[in-house]
Structure formats: structure tokens, C-alpha cells
Amino acid sequence: MISFSWPWLFALLPLPFLLRLLLPEAGSGKDAALRVPYLDDFESSHTGAFQRTLRRWPLLIYLLLWTCLLCAAAKPQWIGEPIELPVSGRDLMLAIDLSGSMDHAFKHNFRKVTKLYATKAVAGDFIERRVGDRIGLILFGEQAYVQAPLTFDRTTVRTLLYEAVTGLAGKSTAIGDAIGLAVKRLDSENNQDRVLILLTDGVSNAGELRPEKAAEIAAARGLKIHTIGIGPRGSRELNEQTLKTVARNTGGEYFRAHDVTELQQIYALIDKLEPIERDTQSYRPTRSLFCWPLAIALLLAGLLAIAALYKRRWR
């Protein structure tokens, strides 16, 4: 639909007519020294017809010009249909292990893929479903760093996740530092609903902060941590007890994924544990249209100027 921000300006539409009625007609100031009643006989038939045409339609042009100017001044705008924006208000940070062991094979149906490849695919789908959440991404190995700060731009977070490679942050595993970095980044936000999902396949063997100590700090700051241990059955590289302790002390859950199917089920379960709020905000897209009546007014003004030049030429 089209609406006007200042529709009261259309009350000025009859203003030119009122001025024409109330104000005296201005003299031309060019009275002829000798009046010739039959001056029209000296004009060619073509010139006289053209001048009579000019005298007929200027009033209509002026009216259209004035109307277009008022339309432009009234600030017309097109308003679209309401668009709902789901908002949950949750800040959700993913911490993904990039240590060298994430290149090891991981079962997927009847074939094998690397653990990092499976994590990218499953976590990427999880990110795409989190409409309304602010998502952030931490990658860690021997060092931990923020790959994507909290943002509503899920597409960018997925892209940055897909571009990650093993060894980018070192070959070791600094789980405590990853948790500490998440606490630091999430603690600067005023939102009280903050969640960290940490995925690893190894034992914390690097970094300055022990995972248990990092979990205590996270619990004191109100950060919930869900931990995911990933690896085939019988894997001795994974310290499940540490991951269970971190999750339990922060009010989160620990999950174990032995293959890609279980990893998909875990992220689906986390979706249920951290449901997306259904409260929505809506907005109506608007587009300003004042340029169109203004352009028409300028075109009409140009036509009047051309007509005046022709009239002066044939006078």
C-alpha cells in the first residue's frame, strides 16, 4: 500500500485558485503604443493556431505541476506486508576442536570421513536452524581464538566454520583456554541467556587454564556449557570425565558421539534443550516514492519553459 507521511499538505491544493481569485491580475507592462484591432490577421494561420493551443493547456499543466509538488512534499512511501523476525535473545557460542586428531577417520554409514568433516556438516546444519540466536564461533587447538564474534549472520558463521582446517591453532588441545575465552567474550554481553557448546575428541594437554577451573569461572558468571565428546568406540584419546565435570558444574549436559548419526542426534537434542523462542517482532519494509512525483513536476516545468520560449519566438 501507498501512504503519505504528511497528508495534510494536500489541503494546500486549492491555494493557487484562491490566490488567483483574491489577488489582482498583474499587468504585463508592455502596452502597445498603437492598438490594431485586426492584428490577428497579420499572423500566419500556423502561428495563430499554435498560440491558441498554448493558451489552452498551460492552466492544466500548472495544476498538474502543483499537484505533483504537493505529492512529493507529502512524502509518499510504499509499505510492504509485515515480516516477522523471530527473536530468542540467546547468545550461543560454539567451540570446535581443531587439534591434529580431528583428521582421524569417523564412521558415517558405510563410509568413513574425518571427524572435522563430520563436525562441520552437523554443526553447520545446527547453526542454520538457530534462527533468532546470536551465534559465535571459537576454534581451538594449542591456542584458542575467536573466529566469529556473536552475530545474527548465520551464513557467515557457517562459512567460517567450513573454512577451518586441522592444525590451524596448533596440534594440541587447550580445552580450558577455549572455555576461558568463551567466558570472556560472553561476559561482556548483558544477556543472561548464554550457552557454550564445546566439541572435542581429545584430552586437554595444553593451555594455561585447566578445564575444571575454567568451568568454575563459567558457573560463577552464569554460563551454561554443553560438552560433546567425539570419537569411535574404544577411543582412549578422549577424557570423558573432564567433559562430564565441566558440563555438570555449569548446568549443562555431556554427550558422546561415536559416529555421525549420533552426532546429528546430539545436536538435535541440544536444539530441544535450548529451544528457539517463538516470540516474534515484525516490521513492514518501506520505500520512499517522493522522487517520482518530483521528477514529473520537473518534467512539466521543463515543458512550460519550452512552451514559453516558443511563444516568445512566434510573438
3-state secondary structure 257-313: ECCHHHHHHHHHHHHHHCCCCCCEEEECCEEECCHHHHHHHHHHHHHHHHHHHHHHH
In angstroms, the CA 315 to CA 30 distance is: 13
Q: Where are the domains of the chain?
A: 2-18+42-81+284-314, 85-280
Instruction: Classify domain 85-280 at the CATH topology level.
Output: Rossmann fold (3.40.50)
Instruction: Please report where in the chains the cell 577417520 appears, as a residue.
Output: 105
For the whole prediction, is pTM greater than 0.75? Answer: no
CA atoms within 13 Å, Cβ hemisphere of 2: 10
pLDDT the model gives residue 315: 59
pLDDT digits (tens, 9 = 90+) for 252-282: 999 998 888 888 899 998 888 877 655 556 6
Radius of gyration of the chain from its Cα atoms, rounded to whole angstroms: 37
Q: Which helix (H) or strand (E) holds 213?
A: helix 211-220
pLDDT-derived band at 39 (thresholds 50, 70, 90) equals very low
Residue 46: is its pLDDT beyond 70? no
Judge whether residue 95 has pLDDT over 80: yes
Is residue 224 within 8 Å of residue 251, measured between CB atoms? yes
Residue 193, beta-bridge partner list: none
User: How does residue 18 score in pLDDT terms, banded at 50, 70 and 90?
Assistant: confident
Pairing state between β 280-283 and 83-86: antiparallel
Name the pLDDT band for 197 (thresholds 50, 70, 90).
Answer: very high
Query: Pick from 195, 95, 218, 215: which is nearest to 146 by CA?
Result: 95
pLDDT band at 27 (very low <50, low <70, confident <90, very high): low
Which residues, in sequence order, are bridge partners of residue 91?
A: 134, 194
How does pLDDT run across 57-66, given as a tens digit for each residue? Answer: 677 888 888 9
> Cα separation of 119 and 8, whole Å?
60
CA–CA dist 234, 242 (Å, integer): 17
pLDDT of residue 258: 86
